[in-house]
């Protein structure tokens, strides 16, 4: 177990936090006022329950009051009911209990996209492309089938069983399985592969309890393949545990360097510093971020940037610099209360203003689009009062996310309204799932690996004609001009989704890498080694 030079009496986290700790009440001279306020709330509830003209639901009134109180504080303090706690906690715990399949709903039918390797369904021989027609003897298709229905029916406690009847392509009868539920891992790393002979790539989707174990496995794999330099993709990563962000940052920074510190009015400053156990302190590093990168992602990219350890590339991050701490209420529900702000090594607080309220706060991305920020870095302006200097004397700014060292605009050429309609109407999923089911055996025979598929498989004209026929059937009107702009991107999406349906999510990223403008630019920079000194140590 790795130890840090500064230990907190209780662990603080940067984003979605769902485990409980006992409340710690500050000693202060305002105890009398606190008591009066508590009594005031209790008295109001008493009068409502005993004198209101109609029947009331006291638990709901209290719950609504808590929710609205927290809304008055900041956009990230939140209430989680006891019933919702497990589901809310699941992504960061890194596992759930169930049958172990990734699924999609296709025409009101449960389609197995892939069994989780080593999970109960995989061990029984359930395959990608199978359709679950019956669950415990009852029909499991039609309008009643939605995500909640599937979760309720297929998830359950480890050791319990569920009977399913599966339709497999070209089999005359349904295949019956009795599946014993088990603990199923939720991976936080979507992809690990080599982009060329020297550059490795890791796509991290969240900072969960299992992230560092996964990261070390990924690094071991990449180093065996000859990796010298690393691209860490945090685009769209909305955060997770603070201590995991600290440990990941530690992999890149040398002993004793400050990674992040937290501080609040009732939370004394706590410093988190790097140890001498970093796994990648020397090679060239590029961190990819965008407007969906938040919280723990910003801790890592902020530490890398402030110490001039690598290049941060992409678009301005979300801007969440608040730390939530969970407190359990008597009925088992939890409030996640913002207890501190976190600051990057230079002292930057990257939290966006939220004075206008929660609704305005979450409209920020739309406003960035309206102002042209996603396509033009010159539209972003920071006040001089938020100016800071990195270890190498470069200027960086606080007050609203991490601004990348190298800006890459969003791809507006290919992302047309026609393409958006194809996505919205589910055309990509319908076509690629059917194609994968019909051609699974031949594709796996012709392409032994995803690398071979990525290099040699091509979406031909017949496939495009069939795809456009599906689009027409689903009500997507053809726009010739927009189609021509999006055509190449559409082909990559089709190819990548076929790969995902036949292999796994990693194969999707392998295929899309060639059409990922930000990633391709990062690869070029890796090989232009002078760029690191030009960006990080300018004259």
| Rounded-to-integer distance, Cα 275 and Cα 272, Å | 10
If one counts every other C-beta atom within 10 angstroms of the C-beta of residue 414, the result is: 17
Is 324 considered catalytic here?
yes
Question: Which position among 295, 333, 486, 493 bears the catalytic label?
Answer: 295
Beta bridge mates, 131: 111, 167
* Strands 101-106 and 109-115, sheet pairing: antiparallel
Report whether 198 contacts 227 (CB < 8 A): yes
Token pair, residue 464, equals 């495009």
Question: Which position among 208, 320, 351, 486 bears the catalytic label?
Answer: 320
| Rounded-to-integer distance, Cα 232 and Cα 363, Å | 28
Assign residue 94 a region: left if phi > 0, alpha if psi is -120 to 50, beta otherwise? left
- Residue 15, classified by CB atoms within 10 Å of its CB into exposed (0-12), middle (13-18) or buried (19+), is buried
Question: Which position among 165, 188, 251, 324 bears the catalytic label?
Answer: 324
Is 267 considered catalytic here?
no
Q: Which residues contact 160 (CB under 8 A, 6 or more apart)?
A: 180, 181
Beta bridge mates, 327: 21, 335
HEC letters along 295-359: CHHHHHHHHHHHCCCCEEEECCCCCCCEEEEEEECCCCCEEEEEEEEEECCCCCCCCCCCCCCHH
Is 482 considered catalytic here?
no
Beta bridge mates, 95: 185
Q: Which residues are marked as active site?
A: 295, 320, 324
């Amino acid at each position: 177990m790795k130890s840090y030079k500064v230990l907190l009496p209780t662990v603080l986290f940067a984003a979605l936090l769902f485990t409980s700790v006992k409340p710690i009440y500050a000693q202060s001279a305002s105890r009398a006022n606190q008591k009066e306020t508590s009594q005031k709330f209790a008295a109001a509830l008493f009068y409502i329950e005993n004198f209101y003209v109609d029947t009331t639901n006291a638990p709901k009134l209290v719950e609504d009051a808590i929710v609205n109180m927290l809304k008055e504080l900041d956009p990230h303090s939140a209430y989680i009911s006891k019933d919702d706690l497990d589901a809310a906690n699941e992504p960061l715990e890194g596992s759930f209990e169930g049958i172990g399949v990734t699924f999609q709903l296709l025409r009101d039918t449960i389609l197995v996209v892939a069994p989780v390797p080593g999970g109960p369904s995989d061990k029984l021989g359930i395959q990608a492309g199978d359709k679950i027609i019956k669950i415990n003897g009852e029909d499991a298709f039609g309008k009643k089938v939605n995500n909640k229905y599937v979760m309720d029916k297929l998830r359950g406690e480890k050791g319990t069983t569920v009977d399913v009847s599966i339709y497999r392509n070209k089999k005359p009868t349904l295949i019956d399985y009795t599946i014993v539920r088990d603990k199923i891992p939720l991976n936080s790393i979507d992809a690990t592969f080599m982009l060329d002979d020297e550059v490795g790539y890791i796509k991290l989707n969240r900072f969960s309890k299992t992230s560092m174990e996964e990261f070390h496995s990924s690094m071991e794999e990449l180093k065996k393949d000859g990796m010298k330099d690393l691209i860490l993709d945090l685009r769209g990563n909305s955060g997770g545990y603070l201590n995991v962000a600290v440990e990941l940052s530690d992999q890149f920074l040398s002993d004793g360097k400050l990674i992040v510190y937290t501080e609040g009015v009732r939370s004394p400053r706590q410093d988190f510093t790097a140890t001498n156990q970093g796994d990648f302190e020397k090679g060239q590093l590029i961190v990819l971020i965008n407007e969906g990168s938040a919280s723990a992602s910003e801790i890592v990219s902020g530490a890398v940037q402030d110490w001039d350890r690598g290049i941060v590339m992409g678009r301005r991050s979300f801007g969440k610099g608040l730390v939530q701490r969970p407190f359990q209420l008597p009925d088992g529900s939890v409030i996640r209360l913002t207890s501190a702000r976190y600051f990057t090594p230079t002292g930057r607080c990257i939290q966006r203003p939220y004075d206008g309220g929660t609704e305005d706060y979450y409209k920020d991305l739309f406003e960035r689009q309206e102002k042209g920020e996603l396509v033009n870095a010159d539209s972003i302006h920071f006040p001089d009062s938020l100016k800071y200097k990195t270890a190498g004397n470069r200027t960086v700014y606080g007050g609203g996310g991490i601004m990348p060292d190298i800006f890459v605009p969003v791809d507006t050429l290919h992302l047309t309204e026609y393409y958006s309609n194809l996505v919205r109407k589910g055309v990509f999923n319908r076509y690629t799932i059917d194609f994968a089911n019909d051609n699974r055996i031949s594709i796996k025979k012709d392409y032994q690996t995803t690398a071979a598929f990525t290099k040699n498989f091509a979406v031909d004209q017949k496939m495009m004609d069939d795809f456009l026929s599906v689009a027409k059937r689903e009500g997507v009107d053809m726009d010739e001009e927009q189609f021509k702009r999006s055509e190449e991107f559409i082909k990559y999406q089709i190819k990548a989704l076929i790969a995902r349906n036949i292999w796994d999510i990693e194969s999707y990223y392998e295929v899309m890498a060639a059409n990922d403008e930000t990633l391709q630019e990062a690869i070029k920079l890796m090989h232009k080694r002078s760029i690191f000194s030009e960006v990080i140590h300018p004259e």
